[in-house]
Chain A
Amino acid sequence: METTKKAAVTRRAILAAGSVLAMPGILRAQTADTIKIGFPVPLTGPYGTEAKDQVACAQIAIAEFNAAGGLGGRMAELLVRDDRLDPGEAATRTIELIEKDHANFIVGSLSAAVQLAVNNVAKQRGIIYNSISQSDQIAALPDWSKTTFHEAMTPHLTAGAVGRYAFSHYGKKVVFLQADYAYGHEMVDGFKAVGQSMGIEVLADLRHPLGATDFSTLLPRIQSLKPDILVLANFGRDQQISIKQATDFGLKKTTKIVAPILLYTSRIAAGEKAFEGVVGGSSYYWGIEATTPSAKALNDKYRAANEGRVPSDYGALGYAGVRSLLDAAKRAGSVETDKVIAALEGAKYDSYKGPQEFRACDHQSVQSVLIIESKSGGSSPYDVFNVIGTEAANADNLLSCKDEGHV
């Protein structure tokens, strides 16, 4: 035992000595400061599954960057923190990441309220924050600042894309059932904005409390209204339960169920029977790899690291959020805030889902929206959606910078 240990040490020493001789650059890398990316996400709580996938994907971006030699030899490191889906907790963790751990950038969060809290901390300290969850507010004043970037889609964009597709394909008589908080309200506003121009008729606009477990008392009324479309503007478990119970009540026979965002993880958790035929929007689905080389590259790396599984939509945003900043740091040749901002503004990129661009005026990522339909009987456990439409990246579909208060 003793001899093998000694042998191993010797071998390592020789290797190290050899590499120092061969590539002096690496020695410098180990001594220079690492680039630290703070990553507050809700590892515990209802979105734990999505958050863990965001970490797994972000690690891929870090590994890629380091394998390619980093920033002139400076390696990157991900500092993962649990924000428990709580704005206060997230703010505390972000302050620690910046003040104590000296993080160069912040990426992360998985809720509208939490990302605003993180953004607030980062902007006060002049640290770049790239948010990876949905919000209209973050790209608008007064929350926005020059250090604020938004890699994820906005509710306005998502609901608009899904609405344009659904109202033209399934009918104009609509019932909304929304979770009674910012997410539900912003999404329904988005649907109504496009719906107005398309002449939809809103039969009812119902609200349910966040975290509801029974929707049965709402369903007979909805059924009696005979809508063409039922829009479920809720998220996570609320979405799973409401879709399942609507299915049990036989609502799908007469009505198309539409959700602003159809989560890959929710669909996996709820099973194929309940979600069958439900249409919704998504920022990413692994199935686009057939036509999108950058998606294939991410999926392959994820599969290799995660026993053949595929990245989820929100997971992939973790990858993109980290990669955008590291790529910009490379282009800028620096991690200095102002130089990286300059490298990000107006940057066109294709890191995982086709062409994207950081709009210069509000730092919002202009990107495509996928319209997906849940299916049953897929060829693998991961084969859960059909991509039935793609709205290409188009800045006209976003709120204009003027509407957001930018001059």
Chain B
Amino acid sequence: MDGLTPDLLVLQLFTGLALGAIYVLLALGMSLLFGMLTVVNFAHGAFYMLGAYAGLVLLGMGFNFWACLIIAPIIVGSLGMLCERFLIRHLYGRGIDYPLLLTFGLSYVLVELVRIFFGTSGYPVDTPDILQGASDIWIGYFPTYRLFVIGVAVVVLTALWLFLERTPYGLIIRAGARDPQIVRILGIDVARVWLVVFGIGTGLAALAGLLAAPLQGTSPEMGSTILAESFVVTVVGGMGSLVGAVVAGLLVGVVVAMTSLFAPEMAQVAIFALMAVVLLVRPQGFFGRAGLMS
């Protein structure tokens, strides 16, 4: 392994963190839905993909990229709320596999619909002009757009944390997750809380998809690979734990980056090896509560 300089190692570490940022955004929504609603959302990858396509349509209508970053998650989040209201809501309290199977089926329907309306071949999404090219970050050059993605992830994380921890509505959401019955007795419409949570979760997935679009273009299947990866992140971090999603997301990114450096063909396997090790040592994940899945 010649040419392995400290600079390259640091740059590689940074690449891993940037990759982790997208995992974090996706796993965050997934973990939110599980932690609050005990729904394992297998359609999360499909909502991620819808976010990219919503952005594509909006860009085509003349909106700029910044507006899309706001509007696309709102559109997809609303669609997520419709799915919650008319499909998933009926399955609450029926055991974890019911909503799992439903969302699994839902993901096929959504992907097929996109294939029908947008074709199978996928579209390119240009990086916004101001974020094109590479920036000097002392240790080397790094794509400006990936720096921006890290920035967005930090902003979203902070906003979500403030919302959940520092607002009255956040308090209701947290209380609803802990004990929905008591919250209901206190005269709060828990169904509406869950609706909002589902909207936020799917909106976050859409934001991640839209952010990924300039990196890899859009395709109807773009959500399926990343769904598996972010599911691993959620499991490693602890199902339902937001802190866990962040830590595990960044860790998985770094693990992929470091394996790529020494044994590129092992990078994909490394993710699952990490999950296997964590499950053996700590079955509930880094920050998960034991027994939540049972």
Q: Do A and B bind?
A: yes
Complex interface residues of chain A between 198 and 227 (CB less than 8 A to chain B): 206-209, 211-214, 216-221, 223-225
Q: Are B15 and A217 in contact (CB under 8 A)?
A: yes
Which of A208, A213, A218 has the largest number of chain B CB atoms within 10 A? A213
Whole-angstrom CA separation of A265 from B12 in the bound complex: 33
Nearest CB of A to B278, in Å: 21
Which of B121, B140, B226 is A269 in contact with, Cβ under 8 Å? B121
Complex interface residues of chain B between 127 and 164 (CB less than 8 A to chain A): 127, 132-134, 140-143, 145-146
Measured between beta carbons, the chain A residues less than 8 angstroms from B267 are 208, 217
Measured between beta carbons, the chain B residues less than 8 angstroms from A220 are 8, 11-12, 15, 140
Measured between beta carbons, the chain B residues less than 8 angstroms from A221 are 8, 12, 260-261
Which of A211, A216, A220, A265 has the largest number of chain B CB atoms within 10 A? A220
A207 to chain B: closest residue by CB: B265
With A207-B265, A221-B261, A249-B134: A269-B217 Cβ-Cβ less than 8 Å: yes
B22 to chain A: closest residue by CB: A214
Q: Are B19 and A216 in contact (CB under 8 A)?
A: yes
Measured between beta carbons, the chain A residues less than 8 angstroms from B141 are 223, 249-250
Nearest CB of B to A300, in Å: 25
Measured between beta carbons, the chain B residues less than 8 angstroms from A237 are 122, 217, 219
Measured between beta carbons, the chain A residues less than 8 angstroms from B264 are 206-208, 218
With A218-B264, A244-B217: A211-B225 Cβ-Cβ less than 8 Å: yes
Measured between beta carbons, the chain A residues less than 8 angstroms from B145 are 248
B248 close to chain A: CB less than 8 A: no
Measured between beta carbons, the chain A residues less than 8 angstroms from B261 are 217, 221
B12 to chain A: closest residue by CB: A220
A49 close to chain B: CB less than 8 A: yes
B16 close to chain A: CB less than 8 A: yes
Measured between beta carbons, the chain B residues less than 8 angstroms from A147 are none
| 0/1 string, B258-294, CB within 8 A of A gives 1 | 0011001101100000000000000000000000000
A205 to chain B: closest residue by CB: B264
Nearest CB of A to B49, in Å: 12
B105 close to chain A: CB less than 8 A: no
Complex interface residues of chain A between 215 and 273 (CB less than 8 A to chain B): 216-221, 223-225, 237, 240-241, 244-245, 248-250, 265, 269-271, 273
Whole-angstrom CA separation of A220 from B141 in the bound complex: 9
B256 to chain A: closest residue by CB: A217
Whole-angstrom CA separation of A273 from B127 in the bound complex: 10
Complex interface residues of chain B between 207 and 235 (CB less than 8 A to chain A): 212, 215-217, 219, 221-222, 225-226
B120 close to chain A: CB less than 8 A: yes
Measured between beta carbons, the chain A residues less than 8 angstroms from B146 are 216, 248
Q: Are B216 and A245 in contact (CB under 8 A)?
A: yes
Q: Are A274 and B222 in contact (CB under 8 A)?
A: no
Whole-angstrom CA separation of A254 from B124 in the bound complex: 24
Measured between beta carbons, the chain B residues less than 8 angstroms from A273 are 126
Which of A180, A212, A218, A245 is B215 in contact with, Cβ under 8 Å? A245
B3 close to chain A: CB less than 8 A: yes
Q: Which of A8-16, A21-29, A40-48, A149-157 contacts B (4 or more CB under 8 A)?
A: A40-48
Give how many B residues have a beta carbon under 8 Å from the other chain's beta carbons: 43
Which of B121, B124, B132 has the largest number of chain A CB atoms within 10 A? B121
| 0/1 string, B86-127, CB within 8 A of A gives 1 | 000000000000000000000000000000000111111011
Q: Are A271 and B3 in contact (CB under 8 A)?
A: no
Which of B8, B219, B260 is A218 in contact with, Cβ under 8 Å? B260
How many A-B residue pairs lie within 8 Å, measured between CB atoms?
106
Whole-angstrom CA separation of A270 from B125 in the bound complex: 8
B139 to chain A: closest residue by CB: A220
Measured between beta carbons, the chain A residues less than 8 angstroms from B219 are 237
Q: Are A217 and B12 in contact (CB under 8 A)?
A: yes
Whole-angstrom CA separation of A207 from B257 in the bound complex: 14
Whole-angstrom CA separation of A146 from B126 in the bound complex: 49
| 0/1 string, B33-52, CB within 8 A of A gives 1 | 00000000000000000000
Measured between beta carbons, the chain B residues less than 8 angstroms from A218 are 260, 264
Measured between beta carbons, the chain A residues less than 8 angstroms from B260 are 217-218, 221
B18 close to chain A: CB less than 8 A: yes
Measured between beta carbons, the chain B residues less than 8 angstroms from A46 are 120, 221
Whole-angstrom CA separation of A249 from B226 in the bound complex: 22
Q: Are B217 and A224 in contact (CB under 8 A)?
A: no
Q: Are B122 and A269 in contact (CB under 8 A)?
A: yes
Q: Are A244 and B3 in contact (CB under 8 A)?
A: no
Q: Are B265 and A180 in contact (CB under 8 A)?
A: yes
Whole-angstrom CA separation of A269 from B133 in the bound complex: 21
With A217-B15, A269-B124: A250-B215 Cβ-Cβ less than 8 Å: no
With A224-B8, A249-B141: A217-B120 Cβ-Cβ less than 8 Å: no
Q: Are A248 and B18 in contact (CB under 8 A)?
A: no
A271 to chain B: closest residue by CB: B124
Nearest CB of A to B8, in Å: 5
Q: Are B217 and A250 in contact (CB under 8 A)?
A: no
Which of A211, A216, A217 has the largest number of chain B CB atoms within 10 A? A217
Nearest CB of B to A234, in Å: 13
Whole-angstrom CA separation of A265 from B127 in the bound complex: 21
Nearest CB of A to B174, in Å: 34
Q: Are B3 and A224 in contact (CB under 8 A)?
A: yes
Q: Are B124 and A49 in contact (CB under 8 A)?
A: no
Whole-angstrom CA separation of A274 from B216 in the bound complex: 11
Measured between beta carbons, the chain A residues less than 8 angstroms from B119 are 48-49
Q: Are B123 and A269 in contact (CB under 8 A)?
A: yes
Measured between beta carbons, the chain B residues less than 8 angstroms from A224 are 3, 5, 8
B16 to chain A: closest residue by CB: A217
Residues of B within 8 A of A (CB): 3, 5, 8, 11-12, 15-16, 18-19, 119-124, 126-127, 132-134, 140-143, 145-146, 212, 215-217, 219, 221-222, 225-226, 256-257, 260-261, 264-265, 267-268
Query: Could you name 10 residue pairs across A and B whose Cβ atoms are closer than 8 Å?
Result: A44-B120, A48-B119, A207-B264, A211-B225, A213-B216, A217-B257, A218-B260, A244-B216, A249-B142, A269-B121
Residues of A within 8 A of B (CB): 44-46, 48-49, 180, 206-209, 211-214, 216-221, 223-225, 237, 240-241, 244-245, 248-250, 265, 269-271, 273-274
- Identify 12 new A-B residue pairs, CB closer than 8 A, beyond the known A209-B265, A244-B216: A46-B120, A49-B120, A208-B267, A217-B16, A217-B256, A217-B257, A217-B267, A220-B11, A221-B260, A240-B124, A248-B127, A270-B217
Closest 5 pairs (CB-CB, A-B): A217-B260, A271-B124, A49-B121, A48-B120, A250-B134
